[in-house]
Amino acid sequence: MAGVGVLGGRQLQAQSSVELRTLFYSESDGRTTVLSPTLLLHQDLGVSWGQFDLLLTHDTISGASPTGGYPTLSVTTTTGASGSSTTAAGKVPMVPYSDERKAEGISWSRRFGAHLPTIDLSHSTEKDYLSKEYGISDAWTMFEGRGTLHYGLSYADDTVSPVTRPVHLAKKTHGLALGWTWVMGENDLVDVSVSRMKLEGYLDEPYLIVPVGITTLSEHRPGTRQRDAWLLKQAHRFEWDGALKTSYRYYSDDWGLKAHTLDFTYDQRLDDGWIVSPRLRYYTQNDASFYAPKFATAQPFMSSDYRLSAMQSLLAGLTVSTEIAEGWTASVGATYQFQQGKKSITPLATAGTSTSPAVYSGPGTSAADVNTTTLTVGLKWTY
Does the structure show a pLDDT above 80 at 351? no
Residue range 352-376: mean pLDDT, rounded: 74
Percent of the chain with pLDDT over 90: 84
Q: Could you read off the pLDDT of 132-191 as tens digits, one per residue?
A: 999 999 999 999 999 999 999 999 999 999 999 999 999 999 999 999 999 999 999 999
Give CA–CA dist 343/292, Å, rounded. 10
Does the structure show a pLDDT above 50 at 320? yes
Q: Is the distance from CB of 172 to CB of 202 less than 8 angstroms?
A: no
CA atoms within 13 A on the CB side of 25: 14
Give CA–CA dist 123/157, Å, rounded. 10
At 2 the pLDDT is 40
Boundaries of every domain in the chain: 28-382
Q: Could you read off the pLDDT of 293-318 as tens digits, one per residue?
A: 999 999 999 999 999 999 999 999 99
Position 8 confidence tier, pLDDT thresholds 50, 70, 90: very low
| Residue spans of alpha helices (H) in the chain | none
Helix, strand, coil in percent for the chain, rounding step 5 = 0, 65, 35
Assign domain 28-382 to a CATH class: mainly beta
Q: What is the dihedral of CA 310, 159, 126, 123, to 10 degrees?
A: -100
Burial 228-255 (b: 16+ CB within 10 A, else e): ebebebebebeeeeebebebebebbbeb
At 7 the pLDDT is 38
Residue range 13-34: mean pLDDT, rounded: 93
Mean confidence (pLDDT) of the chain: 91
Q: How far from 349 is each of 28, 70, 210, 248, CA to CA, in Å?
A: 26, 11, 18, 43
Give CA–CA dist 12/202, Å, rounded. 38
Q: Could you read off the pLDDT of 64-88 as tens digits, one per residue?
A: 999 999 988 776 666 555 555 666 7
